[in-house]
Structure 1
Amino acid sequence: MSTLRVTAEVLTVHEHPNADALELAQVGLYRAVVAKGAYRTGDAALYIPEQAVLPASLIEELGLTGRLAGSKADRVKAVRLRGELSQGIVCRPAALAGVDLVRAAGAGTDFAERLGITKWVPPIPPTMSGEVEAASELLPWVDIENIQRYPDIFAPGEPVVLTEKLHGSACLLTYVADEGRVYVSSKGFGGKSLALKEDPRNLYWRAVRGHGVVEAAARIAERLGARRVGIFGEVYGAGVQDLAYGADGRRESLGYAAFDVSVEVGGAVRWLDPGEVVELLDGELPVVPRLFEGPYNSERVLELASGRETVSGRELHLREGVVIRPAVERYSTVTGGRAIAKAVSAAYLTRKGGTEYE
């Protein structure tokens, strides 16, 4: 899940094609439905992104009582309003009445804490939980920002690789070569430097043992002379999330696909280029499908984010989206870390009965 920031943004306002009383306020590549005449192009307003949880007072002020997502109707979620996808909320809360929002937009000020807005944390089902232990050696995963929110992560024409984004649960494995030690964790526990103790009932340990992930990590460590190897994969199937890709998370057909690798060599940790990941894991582990390799184009990215899944080979259901990486790993001043982003399909965001477990 990406980092939650609630910031002021300068808007571009578009007509709503299907409603005379509504308009579309654009932030990055996102568009949020707003009342007609509330904003003009060049105005600044607050943008509250998806997955933000709002306090009751702000919900009431914005006239959104009973209209948000979640059991408490307090979570921002993408919706279609008169046929147009609306992602996030554009507003000017009374609590910021004296704030110069244009200046705040330029400074990138985060108003989440001031407004009592928090980040939604998905629930953890019992099969994804378990007894944990401290794991300071665990190689962590990173938050991935949405390219629609931060379209300048990649430059037009930059060589990139797009892989299919799977709707499962992220599995973090770290192999410590000089100790022969293995740490397995989820994204949520891994963010706290905690690992799950081995349990044959646990979803992640079942995937790791069932697909030979430890053995693959050991071979990478030997080949690269790495002290630590981190393999990051998606565990999927029925019982994991609502999109199953023809696998069953409750049985031996539990699905697993690796999507990233990091290594510590000579005391330095680095992420492998997409080509290195494929080379090292080819024939060793299942990997996420590669959908495109070539020059970056935002329209092409959004096009590929939609459609049918390719994991099963049978197009069983919709595609969640894509993950974008540079062909050669690099730092991004936009993210303040890795140059990596995601694009999520509108059909996925607005599907009915979806699950979003950590």
Structure 2
Amino acid sequence: MSTLRVAVEELVVHPHPNADALELAQVGLYRAVVAKSAYRTGDFALYIPEQAVLPDELIAELGLTGRLAGADANRVKAVRLRGELSQGLVCLPRALNGVDLARAAEEGTDFAEKLGVVKWVPPVPTTMSGDVEAAAELLPWVDIENIQRYPDIFEPGEPVVLTEKLHGTACLLTYLAEDGRVLVSSKGFGSRGLALREDERNLYWRAVRGHGVPEAAARLAERLGATRVGIFGEVFGQGVQDLAYGTDVRRTADAPPGYAVFDVSAEIDGQVRWLDPEEVLADAELPLVPRLFEGPCDLDTVLEWASGRETVSGRSLHLREGVVIRPATERYSGLLGGRAIAKAVSPAYLTRKGGTEYE
């Protein structure tokens, strides 16, 4: 999940092809449905992204009571309005009266706290939870921003790699070469420096033990001369999320949960480096997320690959969640203030019915 930032943006306004009273306000590559004539191209307005949870007062002010997502009808979610995908809210709440909007946009001011907007935290099912302990040595994962919000992360034509983004739950494993200890965590617990104590009933431990991930991490640490190795994989299957890729997580003696590695990091000579799993893991050593495209970066190509059918099962059982975009050569992004990496999500995934979003 990407970070929450509620900021003022300069708009580009487009006609709505199916509604005379509506228009489309574009922020980055996102488009949000707005009332006709509410804004013009070049205007500045507040953009509240998907997965933001709004306080009741702001919901009432914006005239959205009962119209947002979630049990409390307070969460921003992508929807189709008269056939057009609307992602996020474009608005000018009273709290911004007197604010120099152009300056706020230039400075990137975040109004989340001022407005009482918070990031939605998905629920954690029992099988994904458990007893935790402090784990300062855990190698952390990073939030990935959506390329539609930040379309300039990659240069046009820059060599990139697209891998399929799976709809499961992220599993963080760190192997400590000094004493052979293994730390396992979820993205949520890992972000707080916590690891899950080993439990044969826990989904993450079942996945890493069932697929031999600790042993693969130990071999990789030896090959690289690393003091720590982080292997980041997606655990998936029926019972994890609504998209199952033909896999069931029900506990059996010979069938662990679905698992696919999407990233690797290693501490070598005191420096943590991000590594391409396909380059550092031996053939068939661990299952990897499907690699869909390698070539020059083109936003239309990226968004085209984000949609379609999944390739994990080999049977195209259901829609694809999206893709993760990385440069062919790992690098820093000044725009993001960190690693150059992004995601693009399928519109069909965002608007599917009965979807689950556990972390």
Q: TM-score, normalised by structure 1?
A: 0.99
Residue number in structure 1 paired with 2:265: 262
Counterpart secondary structure, 1:63: coil
Q: Distance in 1 between matches of 2:336 and 2:188?
A: 20
Asked if the contact 1:247/1:253 (under 8 Å) is kept, the reply is: no
Equivalenced residue count is 356
Q: Distance in 2 between matches of 1:66 and 1:97?
A: 25
Q: TM-score, normalised by structure 2?
A: 0.98
Asked if the contact 2:220/2:280 (under 8 Å) is kept, the reply is: no
Residue number in structure 1 paired with 2:142: 142
Counterpart secondary structure, 1:229: strand
In the TM superposition, 1:24-35 aligns within 5 A as: 24-35=24-35
Counterpart secondary structure, 2:281: helix
Per-residue deviation, 1:226: 0.2
Aligned residue identity for 2:258: G
Residue number in structure 2 paired with 1:178: 178
In the TM superposition, 1:4-83 aligns within 5 A as: 4-83=4-83
Residue number in structure 1 paired with 2:121: 121
Which consecutive aligned stretches of 4+ in structure 1 deviate over 6 angstroms post-superposition?
A: none
Aligned residue identity for 1:126: T
Asked if the contact 1:261/1:277 (under 8 Å) is kept, the reply is: no
Aligned residue identity for 1:331: Y
1:214-271 superposed Cα distances (whole Å, 9 cap, x missing partner): 0110011000000000000000000000000000112325100000000001111110
Residue number in structure 1 paired with 2:344: 343
Asked if 1:296 is matched to 2:291, the reply is: no
Per-residue deviation, 1:282: 2.4
Q: Distance in 1 between matches of 2:249 and 2:61?
A: 43
Asked if the contact 1:184/1:204 (under 8 Å) is kept, the reply is: yes
Asked if the contact 1:6/1:111 (under 8 Å) is kept, the reply is: yes
Q: Distance in 2 between matches of 1:250 and 1:111?
A: 44
Q: Distance in 2 between matches of 1:279 and 1:199?
A: 29
Counterpart secondary structure, 1:313: coil
1:279-307 superposed Cα distances (whole Å, 9 cap, x missing partner): 42421000000000000000000000000
Asked if the contact 2:206/2:256 (under 8 Å) is kept, the reply is: no
In the TM superposition, 1:274-293 aligns within 5 A as: 274=276, 277-293=278-294
Q: Distance in 2 between matches of 1:212 and 1:189?
A: 22
Q: Distance in 2 between matches of 1:281 and 1:68?
A: 47
Q: Distance in 1 between matches of 2:123 and 2:282?
A: 31
In the TM superposition, 1:311-330 aligns within 5 A as: 311-330=312-331
Residue number in structure 2 paired with 1:203: 203
CA RMSD in angstroms comes to 0.7
Counterpart secondary structure, 2:223: helix
Q: Distance in 2 between matches of 1:9 and 1:178?
A: 49
Counterpart secondary structure, 2:232: strand
Asked if the contact 1:16/1:23 (under 8 Å) is kept, the reply is: yes
Structure 1: 5+ residue stretches without partners:
none
Asked if the contact 1:52/1:120 (under 8 Å) is kept, the reply is: yes
Per-residue deviation, 1:278: 3.9
1:75-114 superposed Cα distances (whole Å, 9 cap, x missing partner): 0000000000000000000011110111100100000000
Q: Distance in 2 between matches of 1:241 and 1:106?
A: 39
Counterpart secondary structure, 1:171: strand
Q: Distance in 2 between matches of 1:15 and 1:291?
A: 34
